[in-house]
Structure 1
Amino acid sequence: YLARLEQGRAHSPSPSVLGSLARALRLTDGERAHLFRLAGHVEPGPGTINRHITPSLQRLLDRLTDVPVMVVDAAGEVIAANPLANSLMGDLSGASRRERTIPWRHFSGLPSRLERTSEERAEAGEAMAADLRDALGRFPDDEYLNELIADLRDLSPRFAALWQKRPLARTPSRQKTFNHPEIGTITLDCDALAVQGTDLSVIVYTAPAGSPDAEALALLGAIGLQSF
């Protein structure tokens, strides 16, 4: 698609495509705004989610190679992930936008390596619904967020009930257990770090030094990316 743009064979790239180009080219905020203007689009405003990965955040992702790390926006979309995160959870780089969105994966029943009890799944669903409602309050003009919520209400009776119920936000479990086809079961601590000046969170998975889970994580790094 980039080649077609360069050759003048593709016209009017969407804001989503422009955002992806800005991330790939590691543009600054000012350069990103200029790109949007050149393409005839208004840069996303205060009522929309800022999904731009700054060069400094990209450098952080590049340097964190020994732990799984992913960047998630306020709608729950995985914007970026390092190779170890792709190895752990499955590579979503070629997936559709909806398939990269965590609440959509959860409520639509898409495959997941994350292991949860029925109680944990219920709690996770409540937390996601509460987070989406909070996001809608902060970003009422975000097109993707509005479409996601509408489609989830049509798709999932469970989500529709939760949306009507208006659940309070819960603190998610700090430990996540994954069932990986190569290394088996691994339990990791999960921390979400807010990125200043953006609407993104950095999700980092770690294990205590010297633990069996840390050894499994090191083995996963040696194995490399596996198919999902």
Structure 2
Amino acid sequence: MNRAELADFLRRGRARLEPSDVGLAPGARRRTPGLRREEVAALAGMSVDYYTRLEQSRGPRPSRQMLTALARALRLTEDERDHLFHLVGEEPPRRDAASAHVRPGLLLVLDRLYDSPAQVVTDLGAVLAQNALAKALVGDVLTRPPRERNLTRRFFLDPAARALFPPEDYPAHARDHVANLRAVAAARPDDPEPAALVAELRAESEEFARLWEEHEVSLRRPGTKRFLHPVVGLLELDCEVLLSHHSRHHLIIHTARPGTESHERLELLRVVGTQDMTPTEAVG
């Protein structure tokens, strides 16, 4: 591990970013350019002390999960992310369509959608990134262990994950999850990840196993979703699904039609934010 080079790389990466680049308010005039250490630490989900020690060449060896979080927080390109891993003596993640690395441009779009809940999700349903309003609506998924960030797995295996949907909408959500997973699994016959998820859900969920046998196929499509937020109440939101440069990363955006009660409630959620109303469960 090259601590000096790592510290310099982190400092330079932090200095080149403005708050608006990562979805933060500019705030008061800054003495030096770039983000503050505490802002990078918050974006990466680590303590300020831990990040400060990394920049001072005295921190412990970061885990692969921590390196991935730092790459996302600093909006690194794939080349820069690989360099970060090399500085720590780690092999970079695979460069393919299944990569969990979200391109900086897509993260910038995500951050600019301040008035609409939005998140980046893989074709298998793994949440890779969320903006602030998405966290306020459905919870901060990225605080969970990687295995628990998959929306399809949680919908069928964690009863609490359905708490933000009206019960009468459960059957439609279940069918959508199963139909999407079947389409993805068929498109990636040599990839063990979809097959493993299917096998797990067929073994653990009778509902999933029954729906799987019906052989319905449908990829994620735009539509309307209803959310039961514990504070602002019922929201009926239009769901748009946009593809990134490869079809395995989806940008999912929820919007409310102006003039509706849902629009007023979504605006209330945006104003209040996550101060005291973050749901304990995260769904999508």
Structure-1-length-normalised TM-score: 0.82
Which residue, out of 83, 93, 101, partners 1:43? 93
Cα pair 1:51 1:198 within 8 Å, conserved: no
Quickly say closer, same or farther: Cα 1:170–1:62, change in 2 above 3 A: closer
Quickly say closer, same or farther: Cα 1:212–1:126, change in 2 above 3 A: closer
Indicate whether 1:115 and 2:166 are aligned.
Answer: yes
Which residue, out of 217, 225, 230, partners 1:181? 230
3-state SS of 2:217 partner: coil
In the alignment, which residue of structure 1 is the partner of 2:61? 10
3-state SS of 2:160 partner: coil
Distance 1:189 1:183 in 2: 17
Instruction: Map residues 44-59 of structure 1 onto 2, 5 A cutoff.
Output: 44-46=94-96, 49-59=98-108
- Structure 1 alignment gaps of length 5 or more: none
Indicate whether 1:61 and 2:105 are aligned.
Answer: no
In the alignment, which residue of structure 2 is the partner of 1:128? 177
Distance 1:136 1:19 in 2: 26
Which residue, out of 270, 273, 276, partners 1:221? 270
Cα pair 2:244 2:250 within 8 Å, conserved: yes
Cα deviation for residue 136 of structure 1 reads 3.3
Cα pair 1:28 1:55 within 8 Å, conserved: yes
Deviates further, 103-112 or 79-88: 103-112
Cα pair 1:71 1:78 within 8 Å, conserved: yes
Indicate whether 1:26 and 2:81 are aligned.
Answer: no
In the alignment, which residue of structure 1 is the partner of 2:197? 148
- Identical residues among aligned pairs (%): 33
3-state SS of 1:114 partner: coil
Cα deviation for residue 164 of structure 1 reads 4.6
Instruction: Map residues 70-219 of structure 1 onto 2, 5 A cutoff.
Output: 70-108=119-157, 109-111=159-161, 112-117=163-168, 120-139=169-188, 145-169=194-218, 174-197=223-246, 199-219=248-268
Higher relative contact order (Cα pairs below 8 Å, separated by 6+ residues): 1
The count of residues paired between Structure 1 and Structure 2 equals 223
Cα deviation for residue 180 of structure 1 reads 1.4
Distance 1:140 1:23 in 2: 30
Which amino acid in structure 1 is aligned with residue 228 of structure 2? Answer: N
Quickly say closer, same or farther: Cα 1:35–1:113, change in 2 above 3 A: same
- Bigger-Rg structure (1/2): 2
Cα pair 2:182 2:217 within 8 Å, conserved: no
Distance 1:201 1:171 in 2: 9
Q: CA-atom RMSD, angstroms? A: 2.9
